[in-house]
Amino acid sequence: MVPLRRLTTCTALLLAATASAQTPNAAALRALGTAYATYLSAGRLRDDCVARDPGTAAATKQAYAAWLSAQKLEGFDAGLRKRLGDANVTQLRASLNTQLDALVGSMRTLGTAAQVCAAYRAQLKGDTFDVRGKVPQLNTLLGTGTAAGTTAATTTKVAPVSPGPTVRYTVAQLSSLAGQTLASLPKTASSSVAEQAVVTKLRALGPQVAVTGTVQRSRSLTQSDDRREVKWSVYCYDMAGDAADPSKGQTVTVVGRVRDFDRDTFLTLEGCRVVNPAGLKASTLPAADVGWRFKNQPPERFLVAAGQGLKDSEVLGIYTTQSSGIGVGGMVIVTFPPYLFLKDGTVYNDPLWAPSSFNAKLSKQLEPQKWGKWTRQGLNFQIRWGDGETETFEVQDAIKPAAAGLKLNGTYASLGGGGNTAMGGDVMVAGGSDYTFKPDGTFTGGRFGGASTSNMAVGSQSRGGGRYSIQGYGIAIKPTSGPEQRLLFYRFGDALHIGGSDFVQD
């Protein structure tokens, strides 16, 4: 196996060998190497998962896009090229192909494509691909950050509109145009063909394009509301004349030339300049649904009083399928996630609450990305999700609802975690909870958590108790102090599923 830290070291050495005399010092190059190796590895594993596990390709792309946004790496490659030169970075990427292939090969040995790709998506949320955690000074090294002790400008100089575009688009309108173009292409079209088709469509708007959006971070414009955000933001590769970047949080209009488009990340403009939108006519191009993605909502938004949610007569059942996730130390573990199937032909992939306390109608409105339509396929289901992706749901278990008044007896524990010890690192994270249930309807239990590295360890725990009651697919946990929780519940073998976790009997 080729651990990321080994790939990081090799990347730093290659950077030092290829960079010019005007580039950063050795320590800075090592830090850039760490960031770049992690960035390339995440992209290569994404591509491998999309190719090898088409059923979860959409989820993989979404997870990667979320990671890229959370890590603020939309313009990383472009920034590195500007810092070190196109030729140096191109040579570096070519030199690393063999090691990246070896990393992909090593990941493939950890399980099936579905297991490895589920693990990869989980790792994107942890320490393994935490570029900002590894290199917190990345913006400064790239020359895009604010030096310590200084304050970023709170206003942006506005240049007068020079002869050029007369129409102003929103980020959502350009994102919709990209989505409509992709949707019109044959499903067999390759990524490169599809992306070039979008570039061609956008360039047809004119030699330069004016777009209005909110600055999310350095030179990145986005648009969102309380339910949705654009699928493709607009990123400025550079500012004309080395002008200052617009400040985060501002709503600005920029004009630039269409440079390229990546269907998994954003549209890139080059030679950007901030302009006064007063002389530009707002475009009437519709902001269609294909240009938006729905945000994940807090689960509490869909919790209603007992009996005010789904009726028993509306529920077809809870079915589980085999998948995988990340356990303590980053190990790949087998999981059996539940899906909630309704008799109206719809299915929900993220159940947490007891169905009788779940507002499915509101969930369908606010988080349609978690809903699909099912058809029977023998013992299994064929699901078409709201974004058009399809999934064959291979049933592991058809869960039966519990009888009203069911009592439990014993201690059950759930353990989860993360880290990177399974990939050669030294970070281990563990956390979980346990319940000791008694036949008289009482329980005791609590939560615990901890993390450790080669030179540090921390931990915490809390305990409590109360009463519980079970009916159908729900369990009501009533602590002695605190609000009642009405969670999804079912038994499978000697284990329990409560809320979003599996609990194994001690």
pLDDT, tens digit, 9 for 90 and up, residues 482-491: 888 899 999 9
- Mean pLDDT value of segment 34-56: 85
Mean pLDDT of the chain: 81
What's residue 104's pLDDT?
Answer: 81
**pLDDT over 80 at 1, yes or no:** no
Q: Is 20 exposed, middle or buried (0-12, 13-18, 19+ CB in 10 A)?
A: exposed
**pLDDT over 60 at 8, yes or no:** no
Pick the more confident residue, 402 or 57.
402
Weakest-pLDDT range from 41-50, 204-213, 230-239, 264-273:
41-50
Element housing 503 (H / E): strand 501-505
Q: What is the pLDDT of residues 264-294, one digit of tens each?
A: 889 999 999 999 999 899 999 998 888 998 8
Q: Is 494 exposed, middle or buried (0-12, 13-18, 19+ CB in 10 A)?
A: exposed
**pLDDT band per the 50, 70, 90 thresholds, residue 198:** very high
Count of alpha carbons within 13 angstroms of residue 45, beta-carbon side: 30
User: Considering the chain, what percentage of its residues have pLDDT values greater than 70?
Assistant: 82
Pick the more confident residue, 87 or 313.
313
**pLDDT band per the 50, 70, 90 thresholds, residue 18:** very low
3-state secondary structure of 84: helix
- Mean pLDDT value of segment 239-251: 88
Nearest to 122, CA basis, from 322, 290, 385, 328 = 328
DSSP code for 93: H
Weakest-pLDDT range from 218-232, 255-269, 321-335:
321-335
Pick the more confident residue, 103 or 504.
504
**pLDDT band per the 50, 70, 90 thresholds, residue 17:** very low
What's residue 163's pLDDT?
Answer: 54
